[in-house]
Amino acid sequence: MSNDQRKIPKKDKNMILVALILETALLLSFMIYSADFSIPNDFDSLESDLGEHFQEGNIRPLKMESVDSAVFILFTDEDTTISGVAAYEEGLNGKLRFRQATYRSYMPVYAEMMHIGRNDYIVVYGINCDPLIYSYTYKQPQQTDEDLPLNEKTIVDPDFIDIYDDNVANFPMVYLYDENGNDITDNLNAKYAGETQFVTGVAAMETFLVYVFCAGVLFIGIFAVFVLLSNNSKNQTHENIPFEQRSWFNRNFTFQGRMNQKPYFFVWVGYVLLLILNSLFIRFFLEHGDELWNFIPRNELTLDAAGILFFIVLVIYIAFWVSITIYFFCQSVRRLHDFNQFGGWVIFRFLWLISTVHILFALIPLIFELVLLLKNGSNGTNNYGEKPTDKLSEKRVEK
């Protein structure tokens, strides 16, 4: 069989590249999502995760309740000196992520309002409850004494957790009763007046950014496919137009043609510098974000304006990095073309994402980058066009 017969047609190569781009985008999005929802739904894993959030002795889960996509864990420490509840959200992969938790020391029964996903829940819980407590009710602060208390329930187990789906704006009030129906709430509150509450949680913005990154990766993949298909459809149109006279977009956002070492080196250095600046920006935002937020006056107008401004900045930030990433991706494909290699091999750059499997997967992207930076291009014309000049806007002639 001749070399010409063994060659993959350009159309088939382009479709293979489209498939690789889409599969890579989906894989990266799934890996980002799975990195956030990574906690197995079992007691041992939850005990280990709770220990990472608290320093007050060995935390051990006692009971677990699931409602919709929310999982609530009743927990205490090894000496049973604290009692608390942690809330987790279940992802599409069946695993959990920590959302928020609250715990107290020396408390009778407490009701906590928690927002998980799109739902509000009232969690009533107690650990090693005082034997005087026979039952409890909870109602909203705006209810009058004449209103019937909500959710009256007898306490059977001294360690209990009850979940109520209640979309209300105010925090509930718990009333405790003895076996004779007498209200003993005030007496017990006075008895445990020295209790201390500690709260930890995950900010809504942090969890929101996970979805932003997933959407950004998918958008990059879809847009890269659009660029590839768009360039293929315009191939005939551009065939008679000199490369230097084409638009900036058509010269740089394309998978066609070749790029030699010198212009690629400048592209690579610029991309690395932008990554460094981006990491410094993110670090500054994480360290001083609360200070910037507290600087905003607390009134409806300024908070709404701050929210709109943040959304605009976020959209610009994502659009900028999507464009930069696609640009660098295109140049990497063209650099592979320069030494007559299929552009789909650019997938090696993303093997660091599975570096936890074996250190080899962390080294392959480094080797790949060195090859792109150091390997000489093919002399003369190859399967992807003529040899480009050293200018950044090198001439390209499609085969």
pLDDT in tens, the chain (399 residues): 444 445 555 555 666 666 666 666 666 667 777 777 888 888 888 888 887 776 656 778 888 888 888 899 998 877 766 778 888 988 888 888 888 888 777 667 777 878 777 777 888 888 878 888 888 887 766 555 555 545 678 888 888 888 887 655 455 678 888 888 888 888 877 776 655 455 555 444 455 566 666 666 666 666 666 655 555 554 544 555 655 566 677 777 777 778 888 888 998 899 889 888 888 887 787 777 666 666 666 555 666 676 677 777 777 887 788 788 888 888 888 888 888 887 778 777 766 555 444 555 567 777 878 888 888 877 878 887 777 765 544 444 444
pLDDT value, residue 209: 60
The single residue listed with the structure tokens 């299929």 is 342
**What pTM, to 2 d.p., does this model score?**
0.53
List the structure tokens of 278.
Answer: 């981006």
Residue with tokens 């005990």: 47
Centre a 10 Å sphere on the Cβ of residue 399 and count the other Cβ atoms it contains: 11
Residue 125 β-bridge partners: 110, 161
How many Cα atoms within 13 Å fall on the side-chain side of residue 362?
A: 5
> Cα 12 vs. chain centroid, distance in angstroms?
35
- Note the maximum CA span of the chain: 97
On the 0-12 / 13-18 / 19+ scale of CB atoms within 10 A, 291 is exposed
Looking at the chain, list the stretches that DSSP marks H as alpha helix, in order from N- to C-terminal side: 3-6, 10-36, 43-53, 185-191, 204-233, 235-238, 248-252, 261-295, 300-338, 360-374
Gap between the Cα atoms of 272 and 255, Å rounded: 21
Residues 6+ apart with CB under 8 A from 121: 67, 70, 72, 87, 113, 114, 115, 163, 164, 165, 166
The residues, any chain, with a CB within 8 Å of residue 139's CB and separated by 6 or more, are 147, 149, 150, 172, 173, 175
- List C-alpha distances in Å: 35 to 31, 50, 69, 154, 365: 6, 17, 18, 41, 20
The pLDDT of residue 212 is 64
The pLDDT score that the predictor gives to residue 213 is 64
Q: Please give the Cα distance from 99 to 387 (Å, whole number).
A: 55
What pLDDT is stored for residue 2 in this prediction?
A: 46
From CA 376, how far away is CA 335, in angstroms rounded? 10
Residue 352 CB contacts under 8 Å (≥ 6 apart), including other chains:
361, 362, 364, 365
117-143 exposure pattern, b = at least 16 Cβ within 10 A, e = fewer: eeeebbbbbbbebbeebbbbbbbeeee
